[in-house]
Amino acid sequence: MIVVRDVYKRYWTRHGMGPWVLKGINLTIPKESKVGLIGVNGAGKSTLLGLIGGIDHPNRGTIERNCRLSWPMGRGGLEPSLTGRQNAKFVCRVHGHDDPADIADRLAYIEDFAEIGPAFDRPIYTYSSGMRSRIQFGLSLAFDFDMYISDEVTAAGDAAFKKKAAQAFKAKTNHAGMIMVAHSDSTLRQFCESGVWMRDGQAYWYDDIEDALKDYKDSLPK
Pick the CATH number of 2-68+177-219 from 3.40.50.2300, 3.40.50.300, 2.60.40.1250, 1.10.10.60: 3.40.50.300
Query: CA-CA distance, 187 to 73, in Å (whole number)?
Result: 15
Residue burial 149-177, b: 16+ Cβ < 10 Å; e: rest: bbbbbbebbeeebeebbbeebeebbeebb
pLDDT per residue as tens digits for the range 9-51: 999 988 888 899 999 999 999 988 999 999 999 999 999 999 9
Continuous segment of H or E residues that includes residue 56: none
Domain positions in the chain: 2-68+177-219, 84-143
Q: What confidence category does residue 153 fall into, taking pLDDT thresholds of 50, 70 and 90? A: low
Q: For the chain, what percent of residues have pLDDT higher than 90?
A: 58
- The pLDDT of residue 140: 85
Query: CA-CA distance, 222 to 217, in Å (whole number)?
Result: 10
pLDDT per residue as tens digits for the range 87-134: 999 988 888 888 899 999 999 999 999 999 999 999 999 998 888 888
Across the chain, mean pLDDT equals: 90
Range from 150-154, 171-175, 176-180 that averages highest in pLDDT: 176-180
